Structure 1
């Protein structure tokens, strides 16, 4: 049934553009070049404005998630990587629930599954583009007119398709890692750098102040005679990024780097070379940052749908149970103040978390359960399940010390799911902790950035080791 469902979609997949796999192994230096060009294309798209925007003063449904989604309002990267993550999450969960059946050992099944993911990404981008246009993000739809609305939707779909192809280009082996990873990491780093060190001045009720928290700290200390008041404004100002947010960001970075080193080392021995032993590491963050990525995409879609429904049917009792949205003080930006969606949004300060404990407890619980479930589900469908690891070890003629080939799978089944669930819970805790402290770039963004940087560091080390080995082989 599942395979037939994928085959039904096959004719539609043929109309989608596709990146051909390289016919040879792309040299490392060339892969770095492809990665740099892809990143440059993303940065350019993040600055090119959409044509047809009348107003940018309306509420932004993706306001709280933009950094994590590599999104930039009013530009070609309006949707960022949201359609790709949404499609991947839906398809992977459908596969894990056996709604569709995919045999990953078959090349045809893998190709069909990847094609279906691309197709759903384009369809999801289309739906999200329509929601953004008709909720008034770019101006009143009646003032925009049908032609401008159609042009805005077309631009969003086109840019999302280009983003999808850039991600596919890297994943097919032309570049390093995936486009999603490098786009998110670049966006988070750019956001942290700008909010910490920006020299632009912003008008506040206290007067003109520098937007960058660190720049503002030094400016206030040097320009004011009341040093105590200057320090208080620099550390605790609420209308712009403050120094406490910078310290929370550094603390979160340190915590993630520290936890990144936690792992369980399973002793393995070689069946081919007697006496040779080693270890197979099971990391605490076994599924890397994928659970918080998927959780962010899930919550972003819920926020987008809820705000769209509330803007048109705000008086309906069912819509209000789903989510109530009210404008923030001195701003048109809507924020969830009630309904289910309210408990999916993070408290944005320590005081908010303390004075609304029910919201805090429910948000933390939902986040931890979601991350744990997504982490465990990702293990089963990403080629890192106990059965997959057992097959890898067997192919390399390795066994876990003290276990036969038959019982090795049982030992891995005992360790890996627990590591995935615990890792998901830890990811959720760090993310919540950083959000409540007000870390720049959000807890999820910092988690993803640290792990992505670690992945690239491991890639560079691996390539360097392989290059050294090949050089030694040539000299012998």
Structure 2
């Protein structure tokens, strides 16, 4: 009997229960107390969360040398900053990377049944939320430590042990601010999720800054305005030859890595319009309440072309940034080793990959660079499209948005499709959802590649997320007005 009881108790043990002792220790945003959060309060909380995040994105890290703070050191997140909502040399250096990584890991573990949890059980939902928060904090601390030790701000010996610890603490605090701002919005106090909202805000801020910034930079030809529109107005006002002024305003960036120009701004507008168009493509499947009369008009369940939105690219960017971080740290210490060089070879300042896997998963600097090295361009395009397809398929399953999950939710809401039995709803959804997920991820990947090669200000995925987020907020505004 004793053996049987011990066997029973061991079989009832779950990995999720390991989180239970930490639940009382974790700070938490309380759920709204049973009442609907008023529209104005939601609007105020959303604006306050955005302001706090953007303020932290402009707050420089204390304890850095001036060159490192300005970006003189290695920058593992340089290529993916727009999507990860991070800002170089600031408290929000890590952006949303810890939140995205922790959320993805938890969903993968639950979706693969490695962690058993019942989403209908409030206790299990609370444990899953605590597990994700705890994992986010651990990842934040780990990435902050690895970031400093990898030499992102220069050698630790030059930085000093005290300053190194201080920088790590600031990065951890910045990461925790992002975690709790995201939780504030997720709990219903605001509109949308923090991940998409912060990415959209960071993308829009970057586009506006690079278009209109009055700051100046000296590249050996005298002071030049950083903003593309500001520089174009200055050139037209000061140059005797207007044709020369227009030519420089359009091509001063050199196709990548230089100052923003009107060509990049035009490419940004083209990518933005393409994202707006793709966001509007959808199929509306008619649904109505089960017991409604046949004359009832009912509603529609929309399957968008961008079914998974930009999440596959966000997940891909998070994974690639982690690859950069690991590759840089290893190459700095063990450069020359076959396996380390296979993972990635870097320039002497460890800021740009020049070989290995890290090089081929990095976008070419411009269309001219892609033409000069077609193998790199082809490998990058193939990698982005294949990775987006795989991540999109996995995200549909683990996020509970597969055909089976949607059909189950419709049944739970007592909704049916006119002229179909309940058992046929899943088959009808399977005609559209897998196709939308597959084709949508190809569109997202193609838009990302096109934005990178055309030299757009910001990334295609960032602009796509910005468009999607703004549209979702608009839908939420309209829905709130009906109450």
Instruction: Please indicate, yes or no, whether the TM-score normalized by the shorter chain is above 0.5.
Output: yes
Greater mean deviation of Cα atoms: 346-355 or 376-385: 376-385
Q: 1:297 maps to what in 2?
A: 318
- TM-score scaled to structure 1, two decimals? 0.92
Counterpart CA distance in 1 for 2:378 and 2:480 is 45
Q: 2:20 maps to what in 1?
A: 10
Q: CA deviation at 1:254?
A: 0.3
Q: 1:32 maps to what in 2?
A: 43
What are the ranges of 5 or more consecutive residues in structure 2 without an aligned counterpart? Answer: 1-10
Q: CA deviation at 1:28?
A: 0.8
Q: Which structure 2 residues correspond to residues 165-314 of structure 1 after superposition, within 5 A?
A: 165-237=180-252, 238=254, 239-275=258-294, 276-277=296-297, 278-314=299-335
**Which of 163, 167, 174 is the matching residue for 2:178?**
163
Counterpart CA distance in 2 for 1:354 and 1:143 is 40
Q: 1:449 maps to what in 2?
A: 466
Q: CA deviation at 1:142?
A: 1.4
Q: Which structure 2 residues correspond to residues 88-103 of structure 1 after superposition, within 5 A?
A: 88-103=103-118
Q: Which structure 2 residues correspond to residues 392-403 of structure 1 after superposition, within 5 A?
A: 392-403=409-420
**Which of 344, 349, 369 is the matching residue for 2:366?**
349
The yes-or-no answer on 1:321 pairing with 2:370 is: no
- Is the 8 Å Cα contact of residues 97 and 318 (structure 2) preserved in structure 1? yes
State the Cα deviation string for residues 111-143 of structure 1 (Å, max 9, x = none).
222211111111111111111111222332113
Q: 2:54 maps to what in 1?
A: 43
- Is the 8 Å Cα contact of residues 2 and 102 (structure 1) preserved in structure 2? no
Counterpart CA distance in 2 for 1:185 and 1:2 is 43
State the Cα deviation string for residues 137-162 of structure 1 (Å, max 9, x = none).
23321133332222211221122112
Counterpart CA distance in 1 for 2:345 and 2:445 is 25
Greater mean deviation of Cα atoms: 160-169 or 365-374: 365-374
SS at match of 1:279: strand
Greater mean deviation of Cα atoms: 432-441 or 107-116: 107-116
Q: CA deviation at 1:235?
A: 1.0
SS at match of 2:353: strand
Counterpart CA distance in 2 for 1:119 and 1:133 is 22
SS at match of 1:73: coil
Counterpart CA distance in 2 for 1:98 and 1:315 is 41
Counterpart CA distance in 2 for 1:369 and 1:279 is 32
Residues 437 and 58 of structure 1, relative CA distance in 2, 3 Å threshold: same
- Is the 8 Å Cα contact of residues 2 and 99 (structure 1) preserved in structure 2? no
Q: 1:22 maps to what in 2?
A: 32
SS at match of 2:217: strand
Residues 135 and 421 of structure 1, relative CA distance in 2, 3 Å threshold: same
What are the ranges of 5 or more consecutive residues in structure 1 without an aligned counterpart? Answer: 468-476
Q: CA deviation at 1:440?
A: 0.7
Q: CA deviation at 1:333?
A: 6.5
Q: 1:404 maps to what in 2?
A: 421
Q: CA deviation at 1:289?
A: 2.0
Q: 1:473 maps to what in 2?
A: none
How many residues align structurally? Answer: 462
Q: 2:8 maps to what in 1?
A: none
Q: 2:7 maps to what in 1?
A: none
The yes-or-no answer on 1:75 pairing with 2:90 is: yes
**Which of 427, 434, 449 is the matching residue for 1:417?**
434
Greater mean deviation of Cα atoms: 401-410 or 119-128: 401-410
Q: 2:140 maps to what in 1?
A: 125
Q: 2:3 maps to what in 1?
A: none
- Is the 8 Å Cα contact of residues 2 and 98 (structure 1) preserved in structure 2? no
Counterpart CA distance in 1 for 2:159 and 2:224 is 36
Counterpart CA distance in 2 for 1:407 and 1:419 is 19
Counterpart CA distance in 1 for 2:82 and 2:171 is 18
SS at match of 1:408: helix
Q: Which structure 2 residues correspond to residues 362-377 of structure 1 after superposition, within 5 A?
A: 362-377=379-394
Residues 4 and 281 of structure 1, relative CA distance in 2, 3 Å threshold: same
- Is the 8 Å Cα contact of residues 328 and 350 (structure 2) preserved in structure 1? no
Q: 1:65 maps to what in 2?
A: 80
SS at match of 2:81: coil
Counterpart CA distance in 1 for 2:213 and 2:415 is 53
The yes-or-no answer on 1:148 pairing with 2:163 is: yes
What RMSD in Å do the two structures reach over aligned CA positions? Answer: 1.8
